[in-house]
Structures are given as C-alpha cells and as structure tokens.
Amino acid sequence: MNADLEKLQESNKTELERRGSIFNIGAPATEAVTIRDQIAVGFGDGSVRFFQSGSDPKTVKAHKGVVLSMTNYEDHVLTGGDDGRFLKISSDGNIDEIFNFGSKWVDCVASHKDTKVCSSGKNVYIWTKNKDKPQTLEHQSTVAGLAFDNKGKRLAVSRYGGVTVWKLNNSKWISSNFTWKGSHGTVTFSPDTKYIVTAMQENQIHGWRLNDKADLAMRGYPSKIKSFTWVGNTPYLVTSGSSDAVCWPFDGKEGPMGRKPIVVANGGKELATFVKALNGEKAVFTGFTDGSVLLAEIDESKKPIMIRSSTGSEVSTIAISSDNSQILIGDMKGSILLSSLWVDN
C-alpha cells in the first residue's frame, strides 16, 4: 500500500498554507457552509463566524453551547444548537430565533428554497413560506439526519431502523419507510434522486434504490463513517471512515451493487474523517485524523496533492466557496485554514 500522506508530510508547509490565513478559534469547528463569497463556520463555543478572503472573520454569538447543525438558506444560515434554539442568521450578525425547544437539542437542520426544517428529538418541524406555525412530522426514534432531494419534493429522515422518506403531495407530507436493522445517521439523496444512502452506527453505509427499495450494503470500513460527498458526473459517493477516501460508483442501473469501490488519497495510518467534492471536477478533498488534507482525483493511478499538513487534530469540516476560488478547512481544536485554491487569485 502506498502511504501518500507519509511521503508528502516530509515537505512541511503546503503551498496553500503559505499563501492562506490561519485562525485559531479555540473551539471545535462543527459545521461549515458557503453563502455567496463567504464561508460560515459553526463552533463548539456557540459562535458562527463568517470568513471571507482578505478580511478578518465576523463573529456572531449565536448559541449558548455547541452549534450542532447548520445549512444555508437564501442569504442566511440556519443553525441548530444544544441550547434548544433554531436560528436564522445573516452575515451582518442579525439573529432571528425561529423556535426555542428549551432543554431539547436541535440536532439536524435542512432547507430548500423558502422552506426551513429542523429536528429535535423524534420530531421534524417544517416551516413553509408565510406560515408562522410549523408542520410536525413524527418518528418512532430520535432523528439523526435530514436531506431534501434536489427538487425539494422529498425529505429523507434517518433514524433507528431505517429512513422515512416524506413526499409532498398537495401540500401534505406522505411517508414511506425504508427499513434496515441498526441505527442510521447522516442521510443523502444521490444527485439523480434514484438512491438514498445513510451512514450507520456500525462501520458501514447503507443505501436503497428508491423505486423498488432494493438494499445496498457497503461494508468493510475500519471505523464509523462521519462524512460523505457526491463527486463528478458518474457520480461517485465518496466516504470517510477508512485510511483512504472510498469512492462507490452510482452509475448504471445497479449502482454499486456487486462492484468494488475505487480508493484514493491514502492516509497511511491516519483515517479519513471528512470528505468534500471539488465542484465540477472528478476530484475530492479528504481530511484525516491528524488534521492533514489531500486533494485527489477519482483515479487510482493519479497522485494526490497535499493541501494542508498535519495539525494534530482531526479535520471536522471542509467548505469550498461557491466560485471554487477559496477553501476553508477546520479541525477539532478550532484551527481554521482559509486559502485560495489557485495561484492566480
């Protein structure tokens, strides 16, 4: 096995670290999302900070405890916290409290156009435009993941025992259950909305084909999968949880059924903790347990590029600005690297 990471680390600082800015926030970076030319990052001290190339980040004191979940919403971010608050925050620091759940955490958030969604405990709450009161969708166990399909017509809710897919039909939500034994975490729709995939409590991911509920069990990982991302036109579902970025092909009628994944960006003894697609390219950024980040094409014959060297703290988030010019990398110690991806910038 070629340990790409070990060889690359010999050359100390990377080009991106040399030309970028490093901020030490002192609290774990929990989530990052892109809004126009800014990247918003949620932290373990409850703050949301808006990063932009060439200026200091703007800090918004949002939650009392940890920013548990975050997504973009029009020109704002939506955040959920362990203080029970579901917030809409603008980059100039305006905070709008959508709802306060008190002692219950707001674990997951999602949005599509003008629809705002969060989960707290076993319920999902949906706010649609011009309505003050949310619709409530109930589940048998705590919600662990939320995802809209690309049209916003279906909402996948992961939980213990599988996924509930809610479909909007004449402004009513109709549920359909996708069952697989075990506890399901983060959930995603494939870009063509033919599949849903979850990361499980066990060291595996599980998928279903939506039209016939056929199961796809993707196993063999040495640790829990915390992150996945869709890459390229094939597309590949690239996942963390192994010493490489593991890339499952979702093309053809059968997707990854009976096929082997491609593995790229070998981390040697480090495990991948976060993966993020480079928009429009067949390439993925992979962050590891030691804080290092590699950029690799989904091609086992190509060499990866070292983006960030080891910080000693696991990579917890990566975001790319919407014009593909900036990358932001955050870790569990709260170190943030913001850098331009290309020399010309």
Partner 1 sequence: MENTSQVPVTVLTGFLGAGKTTLLNRILTEQHGRKYAVIVNEFGEQGIDNDLVVDADEEVFEMNNGCICCTVRGDLIRILSGLMKRADKLDAIIVETTGLADPAPVAQTFFVDQDVADRTKLDAIVTVADAVHLSSQLVDHHEAEEQIAFADVILLNKVELVEDNDIVKVNDRIRKINPFAKIIKTTRCDAPLDEIVGLNAFSLDRVLDIEPDFLESDHDHEHDDDVTSLSFVSDTPLDMDKFQDWFGNLLRTKGQDILRSKGILNFKGEEERYVFQGVHMLMDASPMGPWPKGKDRSSRVVFIGRDLDNMNLKEGFENCKSA
Where do contacts with partner 1 occur on this chain (CB under 8 A)? Answer: 26-28, 30, 43-46, 64-66, 68, 82, 102-105, 107, 121-122, 141-142, 144, 160, 181-183, 200-202, 223-224, 332, 334
Nearer to partner 1, 182 or 220 (CB): 182
To the nearest whole angstrom, how small is the minimum distance from the Cβ of residue 27 to partner 1?
3
To the nearest whole angstrom, how small is the minimum distance from the Cβ of residue 89 to partner 1?
18
Residue whose token pair is 């870790």: 331
- Cβ neighbours of residue 291 closer than 8 Å, sequence gap 6 or more: 308, 309, 310, 311, 312, 313, 314, 315, 331, 335
- Cβ neighbours of residue 250 closer than 8 Å, sequence gap 6 or more: 190, 192, 194, 195, 230, 234, 235, 236, 237, 256
To the nearest whole angstrom, how small is the minimum distance from the Cβ of residue 29 to partner 1?
9
The reply to whether omega before 57 is within 30° of 0 (cis) is no
Structure tokens at 111: 């949005």
To the nearest whole angstrom, how small is the minimum distance from the Cβ of residue 334 to partner 1?
8
To the nearest whole angstrom, how small is the minimum distance from the Cβ of residue 191 to partner 1?
28
Say if CB 71 and CB 33 are below 8 A apart.
yes
> What 3-state class would DSSP assign to 306?
strand
CA–CA distance, 47 with 63 (Å, rounded to integer): 6
To the nearest whole angstrom, how small is the minimum distance from the Cβ of residue 136 to partner 1?
16
Nearer to partner 1, 52 or 183 (CB): 183
Nearer to partner 1, 127 or 180 (CB): 180
Say if CB 307 and CB 5 are below 8 A apart.
no
To the nearest whole angstrom, how small is the minimum distance from the Cβ of residue 290 to partner 1?
14
> What 3-state class would DSSP assign to 321?
coil
Nearer to partner 1, 17 or 314 (CB): 314
Nearer to partner 1, 13 or 269 (CB): 269
Nearer to partner 1, 94 or 140 (CB): 140
CA–CA distance, 208 with 337 (Å, rounded to integer): 36
Nearer to partner 1, 105 or 189 (CB): 105
Order of strands across the sheet with 205-209?
145-148, 154-169, 172-189, 195-200, 205-209, 215-218
